[in-house]
Amino acid sequence: MIGDDVIDFMNEGYVDNSKPLWLNLGYWRTARTYPDACVAMVELLGTRAGLSHGDRVLDVGVGFAEQDLVLLDRFAVSHITGIDITPVHVDKGRERVARRGLGDRIDLRVGSATATAFPDASFDKVLALECAFHFDTRDEFIREAFRVLKPGGTIALTDMLPSPGQKSTVATVFGRKYGHIPEANFYDRREYSRRLTAAGFGDVTVESIRQDVYPAMAKYVRQRVDENKTMTEVVVEVTEEERAQCRGVSLWEKATGLADYVIASARKPVEVQQN
């Protein structure tokens, strides 16, 4: 989310392919550095998805494919198809994949998460790492994921939402528009669960992990921006009181109204009812 190349005064144009190019907030339950937190988030997502050897995975909003390198290493999945609507992400991701000799196991393409053009029942798992709140709309993506999943397949997401009962404001509407977050995606975790179920999924779980995301990331951002530290120089310590209060969440709440952060999963039934 705040690697060197997404801070204007540190932007090197993604020239250095050797450094991490993460685009998520990270899971800071035990991590103390940003790269470690990002890896921990991917591991959490993969575990929630039930990734295993032999799985064919669709990773939407793949970014620079940093997470796909972790998924292959940690879960030994058979093959990952990654799609992203931003061409520079796919181009640089392909360079990184080729540099590691993994072109036969990771296939990156420019494409939309809401209209993938893949055949029905193509994948064992569909992943969306902190990106579905950008999709136009998230509901369309959920339906598309259901279509391309094999019966018994799993969707798993980490996502940013408003807190339960939170109201939109004029300021946050502007922030979401600037951040390419459609208003149709502004609903809380209870509605999130209902919409997964309405799309046909079962075994739906939606869990808030915001205390292990926002407080540490807020500290990380402040050190990067206010103290001009590099990614590797920042070490974050968060107290249990800071976690309990979700201190630092206002950085996102005031800007976009997205004060909740969830990990969600759901399973496509083995026998799908036809409408």
Q: What is the mean pLDDT of each run of 10 residues along the chain (275 residues)?
A: 47 63 96 97 99 98 97 97 97 96 98 97 99 98 99 99 92 94 97 99 99 98 91 95 98 96 98 68
Domains of the chain listed by start with CATH number: 4-265 (3.40.50.150)
Q: What is the 3 state secondary structure string of the chain?
A: CCCHHHCHHHCCCCCCCCCCCCCCCCCCCCCCCHHHHHHHHHHHHHHHHCCCCCCEEEEECCCCCHHHHHHHHHHCCCEEEEEECCHHHHHHHHHHHHHCCCCCCEEEEECECCECCCCCCCEEEEEEECCHHHCCCHHHHHHHHHHHEEEEEEEEEEEEECCCCCCCCHHHHHHHHHCCCCHHHCCCHHHHHHHHHHCCCEEEEEEECHHHCHHHHHHHHHHHHHCCCCHHHCCCCCCHHHHHCCCCCHHHHHHHCCCEEEEEEEECCCCCCCC
Residue 43, both tokens: 């591991």
Residues 250, 255, 257: CA angle, nearest 5 degrees: 75
The radius of gyration computed from the CA coordinates of the chain, to the nearest angstrom, equals: 18
CB 107 within 8 A of CB 79: yes
Check residue 16 and give its pLDDT. 63
Check residue 19 and give its pLDDT. 74
Check residue 11 and give its pLDDT. 46
Check residue 13 and give its pLDDT. 59
Residue 147 buriedness (CB in 10 A; 0-12 / 13-18 / 19+): middle
Check residue 249 and give its pLDDT. 98
Determine how β-strand 202-208 pairs with β-strand 260-267. antiparallel
Check residue 20 and give its pLDDT. 83
